[in-house]
């Protein structure tokens, strides 16, 4: 979800205002998902690399996460949207972590629509974590090395209970994965658009669905 900072700069505003506008865009997209029956949405909200930003900006982002849940969390429950989180959650400040856990528990019975927030997330770190988990099982004698298939490995990832993404979209003209869902993206379609995330509107969402519908997904077949 790129472009928050540029959106703010273009308007002579501090970057934090761009992040606030980006949070509003999240709620709009959740509405579009329900309107067009997109059942799974994963948002790359904060990467492991984002910890390298200034203390001021990181603090503002963590406060924004807390405020977002405080103000919008009940809408997830009202709209029966299940909340999941992937990433190194233990690195988040306790208030934000506690708020996340409360809404994860409050929405865990919902099945129709699913929002996954990638927070302090990195694809390489997730793969290393899965490999470590399986290695520990092998060491304990509960798993044979020969039994490790792609399916078994996928089951050790944090995304084990959600489907691999069909479409990965990046805004603001950026054209790279930036360590996002590296294992899961093997057969995803990619779409890069110039729209800044705070400006992301229904026409962008529908345009993405239309572009996806025109792709031929052969999975290696002729």
pLDDT tens digits, 190-201:
999 999 999 999
* Catalytically annotated residue among 2, 4, 114, 204: 2
Domain annotation covers residue 109: yes
* Catalytically annotated residue among 37, 50, 114, 161: 50
Q: Which domain holds residue 169?
A: 4-210
> Does the pLDDT at position 49 exceed 70?
yes
Confidence of residue 218 (pLDDT cuts 50, 70, 90): confident
* Confidence at residue 211, expressed as pLDDT on a 0 to 100 scale: 96
CATH number of domain containing 82: 3.40.1180.10
Number of domains in the chain: 1
**Which among 136, 131, 139, 123 is positioned nearest to 155, based on CA atoms?**
131
pTM: 0.93
Spell out the residues 6+ positions from residue 4 whose beta carbon is closer than 8 angstroms to its own.
15, 18, 19, 21, 22, 196, 197, 198
Domain annotation covers residue 128: yes
The average pLDDT across 106-114 equals 96
Does the annotation count 161 as an active-site position?
A: no
pLDDT tens digits, 64-89:
999 989 988 999 999 999 999 999 99
Domain annotation covers residue 41: yes
Domain annotation covers residue 127: yes
Domain annotation covers residue 220: no
pLDDT tens digits, 167-181:
999 999 999 999 999
* Confidence at residue 219, expressed as pLDDT on a 0 to 100 scale: 75
Domain annotation covers residue 130: yes
Please, is 58 exposed, middle or buried when counting C-beta atoms within 10 Å of its C-beta (0-12, 13-18, 19+)? middle
Spell out the residues 6+ positions from residue 160 whose beta carbon is closer than 8 angstroms to its own.
154
Domain annotation covers residue 35: yes
Domain annotation covers residue 222: no
Does the annotation count 50 as an active-site position?
A: yes
């Amino acid at each position: 979800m790129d472009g928050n900072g540029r959106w703010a700069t273009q308007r002579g505003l501090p970057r934090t205002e761009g992040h606030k506008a980006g949070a509003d865009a999240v709620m709009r997209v959740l509405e579009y998902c329900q309107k067009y029956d997109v059942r799974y949405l994963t948002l790359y909200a904060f990467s492991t690399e984002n910890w390298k930003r200034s203390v001021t900006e990181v603090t503002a982002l963590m406060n924004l996460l807390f405020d977002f849940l405080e103000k919008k969390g009940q809408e997830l429950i009202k709209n029966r949207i299940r909340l999941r989180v992937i990433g190194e959650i233990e690195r988040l400040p306790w208030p934000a972590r506690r708020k996340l856990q409360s809404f994860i528990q409050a929405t865990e019975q919902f099945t129709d629509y699913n929002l996954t927030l990638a927070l302090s997330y990195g694809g390489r770190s997730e793969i290393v974590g899965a490999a470590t988990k399986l290695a520990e099982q092998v060491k304990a004698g509960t798993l044979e090395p020969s039994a490790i298939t792609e399916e078994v490995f996928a089951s050790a990832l944090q995304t084990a209970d959600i489907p691999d993404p069909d479409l990965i979209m990046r805004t603001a003209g950026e054209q790279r994965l930036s360590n996002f869902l590296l294992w899961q993206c093997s057969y995803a379609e990619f779409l890069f658009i110039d729209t800044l995330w705070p400006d992301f509107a229904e026409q962008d969402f529908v345009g993405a669905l239309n572009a996806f519908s025109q792709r031929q997904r052969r999975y290696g077949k002729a």
